[in-house]
Structure 1
Amino acid sequence: MKRGDLIAGRYRLDAESGSAATGEVWRATEQGSEAVVALTRVRLSQMPPDQRERVRGRLRGEVGIASLLDHPNIASVHGLVEHEGDPWVVTRFVGAPSLAELTSSGPIPPTRAAAIGAQVAGALAYAHSPGLGVLHGGVSPRTVLVGSGDQVFLTGFGIPTPHGSPTYLPPEVVNGMEGGPQADVFSLGATLYAAVEGRPPWGDGTPEQTRAAAMKGVVDPPRRAGALGPVLTRMLESRPRERPTAAEAAQLLGEVARGGGDAGGGGSRKRWLWVAAAAVVVLALVGVGLVAWPSSNPELVATGPGPTLGDPATADPCALLSTDHLKRFGKTILETDGGNFDRCDVYIENGADRAVARLQLSAASAAPPQGEVEQRDGLLLVRGAPTPAAPGTVAECVRTLRLTDGHDIRVVGQLLVGAGPEPCAVADVATDTALIVLASGSVPRRPAAFPARSIATVDACGLLDRAVVTRVPSLETAEADPGYAGWDCDWENATTGASIVVTYDRDNEIRPEAGRRVRIAGRDAAVQPDADAAGCDVTIAYGPYTRPNGDPAQELLVVKVDQPAPVPDPCVLGQEVATAAVQRLPKAP
């Protein structure tokens, strides 16, 4: 194409004004009305015929929906025309530089980036609203135009974004999942990160390096962002459900732009309210002498601001345990990848006796854990009473550390075999170790990112949709309840006892006690009906991985379905639900 060409007999090309992921972008004049518009070419003519028609049909639908958008920060979409086999998307022309052009000579101040970002987030919140439900899918520095007085226009609605370049895409999209509204929030966060840090969050390496980093989902913490940093950290969470909505992001960014306080706010309002209430309870208990205050050992007293967890998916539970400190009880063995991704175990052997110190990360529970409450410089420590051993059970003792950003660290001492060591002594030593580490202010990060396409990168709640959940009687109105870092999810009717629980596990293989071997959606699996004939546990092998010691192991998906009443074979429905979940998994490594 060249200047002066007439597109679809209607639009005269005046000047090429940039490029999009799909092709060139031109400033053009509509013949007759003399209106100035922007034309974005979608190069279908270079695609295979079957793909070409598929994209053409999707494009018509997306442009039609995008044309409904009417917002002061959105470059409006006028329609679609065809010329020489290629569609051209017609939008409002905005004569302003893109954010990519503004930052080509260097980063911009965090407050200015926040002000720009607040306008984009407001536009996304409008587009995502229930009455519209429009996703952008390609927010990047090139789609954010910044005009006079930093008036922002978001372009690119209705234009399909090929996923060949993952520079500003979230991990779930790069790993083959469908992107939802939270994907747009991530892309905006990535765009603002690049604006203040001088490079995209996945680095500025080769396309292959960028894709590998995006698939792993670990973002280096922002260093130049100042007060904007906590907001970017939330927007760039690897788990979609842990990111703010676009409306929440607009509010947080606006607070930074206006010079507000801690706009990052770790955790939900509900969690913060509980932490504040718990602090009041502690102070009240101090007044009547019912709080067991910590020892004066300075090594165990956290200093500085209250400790935080940070991004749940990259927090390292094993960094909070020490085999050396537990050696007083016997030989210690560190198990870094037993069970789900949120925990770490140290097994203790002393002759015939066997115990374990288990540390697990979680979102703060709605109700405070039971036990004696202590306060440790910005966190609460709750010492639970020991649970005596009963037939078929093990004695255990629980300590809970509640962090300032609404997360819990649960430390358990458990006697597995024999008469010792005493579980509460094990739990106390493990808790003291965690307190020493937390004195630095936050939970350390994992030494390495999860491998590409690990099940750890998949949101468990996203594996089942409403149609599948309602197959279980009395779950018609049940809502998904996501667990820590999205590594488990449940739907429950507390009245009838019906539920679905989806969780992840890791083991050498599917164990014999997991039940009868079957194949589910082409994968090895096992099914085990409950004794009450109302429930069924389904364990599916997702994919192999190598343990830190070099041994082969398996990542597992576990789906538990409980029906409200006994049925002849509860595993029939259990397998149906599990099959639906497996079909939404990305291809295993």
Structure 2
Amino acid sequence: MRVMAEAGDKVADRYLLQEPIGRGGMGVVWRAHDELLDRQVAVKCARPDDDRAALRLTNEARNAARLHHPHIVSVFDFVEESEVCWIVMEYVSGGSLADMVRDRGALTPEEAGSIGRQIATALAKSHAEGVVHGDVTPENVLITEDGVAKLTDFGISRALWSEATMTRTGGVRGKPPYLPPEVARGDAADRKSDVFSLGATLYAAVEGRSPYGEASHPMAYVARAIEGYIETPHRAGPLVDPLTALLNVEPKRRPAADQAARLLRRVAPPSAHLEHLEDTYEDPHDGETLDRTPFTMRLLPPSVRGAWRRPSRRVVITATAVGTAAVLVVWAALFGPWGGGHSDESGRSGKDGGSGASGTGDSLSQAGRAGTVGDARTADPCKLLNAASLSRFGETVIDPDYGEIDRCDVLLHGETGDDIADVQLNFDADPPEPGGDVPTRRIGNVTVGAFQREGDECVRNIASADRKQIWIITERLDTPAPDPCQLGDAATDYAVSVLDRGQVPRRSAQPVASSLVSRHACGLLDGDELKRMAGVRVKDRDPGFGDWRCEWADGSSDAGVELEFTRDNDFSPEGAERAEIAGKLSSVSPEEWDDDSCLVRMLHRSYRNSLGDDTVELMSLNVYGSKPTQKLCQTAKALAATAAKKLPSA
């Protein structure tokens, strides 16, 4: 096998390498031809030298791929071949901002302001998605031939909830001339750090040097950053005030990315073609919320909600397709986890199905006190969602078999059939806590809480009369799409209308014997097993809603085990080690949920849900504590093998 890729090589039997166009910290970037779609693409080639580097590269692809914005370089594909990883990206014909300054000299304040405004809007989108770039520099700002600026290379970026990457200079992440002072002092990069680096990039574009001045050694820049030493600009003209704000040494005094875009817009309003390019993108900020009342509650959204990979579906159930939905309900009642159907492996004509809920609200069982959830294991989350009631926002499809077992989703589709928004409803066994500042209103026997919108996500909470919680989480997945808070309010109104008539309706049938739905998570492990294998002296046991999730902890929150039953479209763990545990296909992911943790996912069974889509049931087991990661993974695999013995035959 050749050591280096060459022109004429083909990646994934599709991308024909043509010529190298750049070199980054992790590999070479090639211009290539996508023979399937007949287009030019940029392909980054890297040979990670260890598992950490491979994980970092995977994170680069994952973070960038979920960011759709006219000023962010799009990621199209990720390919692993032997020991080589390839990230397939949008090809930008122009060079970088660094190339422009090197070839032409310093830019005018108006030119730099225009580029900065575009990149600030890209950062606003990135931050709304929970992604910090962490490496905003002139080299990572590409400029097309018609003046469109695009942010690229999320190679050291990180999702806000995941592990920070370890690209460092002298123990500090990032490139020293553009390093924020707080990062130089050892803090993790955050949104305001990106804003500082953007300011440093624009300063260099107009002044020809770093805001820390000229230095002969990288550590000299780091020292000046730690001191907070910023040179006064002399060529910035009308850009002085925005630069002063962006380069404030105190992060709290810097503007957010969207505010930075507005400051820079005053210096350089967008041209006609840029304004046309951006007119489909909406500012990711607060939508409408419910009116505040004097009563407030402390409502804590589930920390892992929305963490599962969303499906991409083209099967649509609209308001005019209720008849088809009713047929699917009958199918699910006969063949789903809640019916008496046969598995794919049985050779019978029936298929395993979903939870058997159409969300149409027909023939709802309303026994029980109004506004209550009632028995957790029979309460049907899909009976609180209604696809037809949301059809005014677009084409809708209900997805009863994704993520947690106490969860149901309605997906909205755009004109191309791609998902543009998701409405997720979950049950929660934890009682709401009084106090806090979340606006609420009392409706019948329930209390509705309205969280402030954060980027493309909006959260609503319904506190039931029997002190359980119902979470409605709406997320905009693409543009154009409806405001997530308006969508969430509509879904909440329907759920409240059902609760006003009685208890949450029941699931339509008993679960099939082979389904994880029929098992209790807390019954799969006992205190002796946890002490012997994990060294956890169980003081706290927290069963989740319906006992489909369980957490055992030592009382200090320093060590424990979490086990949960979930569903997905398929079993395709990304960046995880594949393994066979207790005869079942599994994956092992060190530090998936936290730095000191190890997660095992085990495939239990495959079936067809009520929409006819392939679906899998999984058991996820996470071990956390202060032990070495390798030891945590050994423990997680051992506990998963023990728990698997008590699972039903698939």
For normalisation by structure 1, the TM-score amounts to: 0.45
For normalisation by structure 2, the TM-score amounts to: 0.41
